[in-house]
DNA sequence: TTGAAAGCGCTACCAC
DNA sequence: GTGGTAGCGCTTTCAA
């Protein structure tokens, strides 16, 4: 059943059927009624593919992320999907696993499908600009980078001030009298580096010397946090406060410290990052930095909408994270 | 740049270009070489939309779920996406929020886009069959229901034996000497009901009377679990073991019990369901039922692939959950 | 082995 | 207001 069949049965032309389908142009009420009846009779749905062929758009966008299973990404994706589906778009989700080859494959398919826009979630994607093989494939598709920045004309950014986020955590611990702080550095992305930077800046501001020595490298995650405690304790560095770049690592650290007999927050205080649901599960509940993934998703969606509608829009927005104080400090 | 431009520059016809593009039919090696050079010169990518117009498929599937932010769903989605993207498909994710209207809107768009297949994640979707307005829209699209069953010719199922899952938990606690068990019933879906059923069956099997009275209704989640403890304690029911339908509720229950001075697992044992990452964060770590979301996703993907390729395939598979013993029992 | 031509199902333009 | 028609960029069939 296509538009010709409808036109034939309604005894009119496909042009007129198209008009009533899209509510465009004037149609004699009588004919419109006749067409609408036939439309309903067959529960007719126009082919989005044929339409896309003419209009050059299928009304769909793509979200690329390392892994949807990371709650923080899922929260951002959720908002973007809701926002776009409300406007009749579909959202394709791609898990790149951080691999450049995967990313390139996705970009190729997406460009063949003439996707309307792309959202990149995670600062891992900052390095994309180093791969012309990728950027060239999507040079006429608008791209929003969530918490990242790529200097290309079709790229737009929504940034999260992670440096300030960690600075806020350090400031808070400092105010509460803690001087012997360490930072657990667990993600080698731009965002991870920015957080590390926040720690160093805050330490400098408070005249605490040798801050670099107080940065402990660790693997991300519960296990990583546990092992970080081992490194920390065997390093001989004194500490009464541990600032972490991720909640789950912080929770690992907390577990590790408790296992070694430290009492939280009496002997050691801990802060995490992300305000994840995990931070309410652990005991004590984790003081953390809320980097507002829902707001991030909302702003990305808004920005992409604006770009798609041709509105001139800020090509770069910034989100200010916020401290959430709980039992671990 | 389209296939005509390529043909013109390579001094051949679009038919021949199409042949080298798709590696179909024989092409004179010399001409093939010439075409390939032009293809590379312009980094030409054929339009998937135009191709879709002819082939009636855009090589894309959709996943509908209540909410991607639920880790359990995200894990299932992840596997399906990986499996399909490996075969050149794109995966559209739709968050219905459990609303029938949303679901209907999605189905309409998906059918207009002539999506190749649909995966429904969550037994909430079982009730779909009651809405002909929905099922009629997708009557010629194959649908896989993850952990659900819909009796329609184009619907296929991968089931998780949740009844057995909970039965396993109860059996285990029984073997360890616990007789005073209660069940926290926190999801009014078919799966929730199946779990409740598992509790009742196991209790009956072990000749423990009045099992129905030992089912406590609760809201899902951390808060729900906390409140369930209040109901439980004020109910006067004696208990030394709490079986829960979801990890996060179990963790809420555990928190609530600890707050009231119960020691876990010495005075009360607790089991959860899902083997979520949360179950490793709480303290003590949670004994739980692994319902294998990755396996679920893998089987859904496999089944859908088979259906798409026209292979006759089991229209209904079942996954057996497994007990994971940890510190809470 | 090659190329001309007929669709695929729509939108948009233009003449009536 | 209406309808004919020219595309959109491919795949596929059929003659040559």
Strand D and A53 CB separated by under 7 Å:
yes
Chain C: nucleotides under 7 Å from a protein CB? Answer: 1-5, 7-13
pLDDT(B313) > 80:
no
Q: What is the DSSP string of B232-266?
A: HHHHT---SEEEESSHHHHHHHHHHHHHTT--TTT
Q: How long is the CA A304 to C1' D1 vector, in angstroms?
A: 38
Mean pLDDT of the residues in chain B: 96
pLDDT at B132: 94
Mean pLDDT of the residues in chain A: 96
**For range A176-189, the mean pLDDT:** 96
pLDDT(B317) > 90:
no
**Confidence class of residue B314 from pLDDT cuts 50, 70 and 90?**
confident
pLDDT(A317) > 90:
no
Distance CA(A49)–CA(B56), nearest Å, equals: 8
**CA Rg value for chain B:** 26
- Contact between A251 and A278 under an 8 Å Cβ cutoff? The reply is yes
Nearest-by-Cβ selection for A113 from B49, B53, B108: B49
**Min Cα separation A140/chain B (Å):** 13
**CA Rg value for chain A:** 26
Instruction: For an interface test with B, give the residue of A22, A48, A251 to mutate (most B CBs within 10 A).
Output: A48
> A85, A94, A137, A146: which is closest to A114 by C-alpha?
A137
Chain D: nucleotides under 7 Å from a protein CB? Answer: 1-5, 7-13
**For range A89-118, the mean pLDDT:** 97
pLDDT at A314: 73
> Burial, B108: exposed, middle or buried (Cβ in 10 Å; 0-12, 13-18, 19+)?
middle
Query: A41-55 as b/e, with b when 16 or more CB fall inside 10 Å?
Result: eeebbbbbbebbbee
pLDDT at A157: 95
**Confidence class of residue B185 from pLDDT cuts 50, 70 and 90?**
very high
Whether cis (ω within 30° of 0) applies to the bond prior to A284 is yes
pLDDT at A276: 98
Q: How long is the CA A15 to C1' D2 vector, in angstroms?
A: 8
Residues 6+ apart with CB under 8 A from B254: B225, B264, B270, B282, B286, B328
pLDDT at B69: 97
Alpha helices in chain A (DSSP H): 3-9, 14-22, 29-41, 48-55, 71-85, 100-112, 132-135, 162-175, 190-205, 222-235, 247-259, 278-281, 293-308
pTM of the model: 0.97
pLDDT at A312: 76
Cα-Cα-Cα-Cα dihedral of A166, A172, A176, A180, to 10°? 20
**Confidence class of residue A316 from pLDDT cuts 50, 70 and 90?**
confident
**Tokens describing residue A172:** 């808070």
- Contact between A35 and A10 under an 8 Å Cβ cutoff? The reply is yes
Whether B68 and A78 lie within 8 Å, measured CB to CB: yes
Whether A69 and B67 lie within 8 Å, measured CB to CB: no
Distance CA(A79)–CA(B142), nearest Å, equals: 28
pLDDT at B312: 76
Nucleotide at minimal C1' distance from the B53 CA: C8
pLDDT(A60) > 90:
yes
Q: What is the DSSP string of A157-204?
A: EEEE-HHHHHHHHHHHHHHTT---EEEEE---SHHHHHHHHHHHHHHH
Distance CA(B90)–CA(B86), nearest Å, equals: 9
pLDDT at B316: 77
**For range A203-229, the mean pLDDT:** 97
Residue A150: φ, ψ to 5°: -130, 125
Using the 8-state DSSP alphabet, how is residue A60 labeled? E
Distance CA(B248)–CA(B253), nearest Å, equals: 9
Provide the percentage of residues in chain A whose pLDDT is more than 70.
Answer: 100
Nearest-by-Cβ selection for B50 from A53, A108, A109: A53
Strand D and B59 CB separated by under 7 Å:
no
Q: Model confidence over B266-287: pLDDT tens digits?
A: 999 999 999 999 999 999 999 9
Nearest-by-Cβ selection for A92 from B48, B90, B137: B90
Whether B71 and A68 lie within 8 Å, measured CB to CB: no
Whether B93 and A88 lie within 8 Å, measured CB to CB: no
Whether A112 and B68 lie within 8 Å, measured CB to CB: no
**For range B112-131, the mean pLDDT:** 95
Nearest-by-Cβ selection for A53 from B49, B74, B81: B49
Whether A137 and B43 lie within 8 Å, measured CB to CB: yes
**Tokens describing residue A76:** 């951002």
Distance CA(B160)–CA(B146), nearest Å, equals: 8
> B253, B258, B251: which is closest to B276 by C-alpha?
B251
pLDDT at B192: 97
Q: How many CB atoms lie within 10 A of CB B67?
A: 15
Q: Model confidence over B245-271: pLDDT tens digits?
A: 999 999 999 999 999 999 999 999 999
Distance CA(A172)–CA(A203), nearest Å, equals: 12
**Min Cα separation B62/chain A (Å):** 8
Q: Model confidence over B217-243: pLDDT tens digits?
A: 999 999 999 999 999 999 999 999 999
């Amino acid at each position: 059943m296509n538009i010709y069949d409808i036109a034939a049965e309604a005894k009119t032309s496909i042009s007129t059927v198209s008009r009533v389908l899209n509510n465009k142009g004037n149609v004699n009420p009588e004919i419109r009624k006749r067409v609408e009846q036939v439309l309903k009779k067959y529960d007719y749905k126009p082919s989005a593919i044929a339409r896309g062929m003419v209009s050059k758009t299928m009304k769909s966008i793509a979200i690329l992320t390392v892994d949807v299973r990371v709650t923080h990404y899922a929260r951002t994706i959720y908002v973007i999907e809701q926002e776009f589906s409300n406007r009749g778009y579909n959202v394709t989700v791609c898990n790149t696993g951080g691999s450049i080859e995967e990313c390139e494959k996705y970009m190729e398919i997406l460009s063949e499908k003439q996707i309307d826009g792309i959202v990149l979630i995670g600062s891992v994607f900052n390095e994309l600009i180093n791969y012309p093989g990728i950027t060239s494939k999507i040079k006429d598709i608008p791209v929003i980078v969530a918490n990242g920045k790529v200097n290309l004309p079709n790229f737009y950014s929504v940034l999260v001030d992670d440096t300030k986020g960690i600075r806020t955590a350090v400031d808070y611990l400092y105010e509460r009298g803690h001087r012997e702080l360490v930072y657990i550095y667990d993600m080698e992305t731009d965002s991870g580096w920015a957080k590390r930077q926040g720690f160093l800046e805050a330490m400098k501001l408070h005249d605490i010397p040798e801050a670099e020595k107080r940065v402990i490298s660790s693997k991300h995650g519960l296990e990583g946090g546990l092992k970080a405690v081992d490194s920390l304790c065997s390093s001989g560095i004194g500490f009464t406060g541990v600032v972490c770049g991720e909640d789950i690592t912080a929770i690992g650290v907390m577990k590790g410290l408790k296992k070694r007999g430290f009492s939280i927050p009496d002997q050691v205080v801990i802060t995490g990052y992300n305000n994840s649901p995990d931070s309410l599960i652990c005991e004590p509940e984790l003081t953390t930095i809320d980097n507002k993934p829902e707001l991030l998703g909302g702003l990305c969606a808004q920005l992409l909408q604006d770009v798609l509608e041709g509105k001139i829009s800020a090509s770069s927005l910034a989100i200010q994270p916020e401290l959430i104080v709980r039992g671990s400090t």
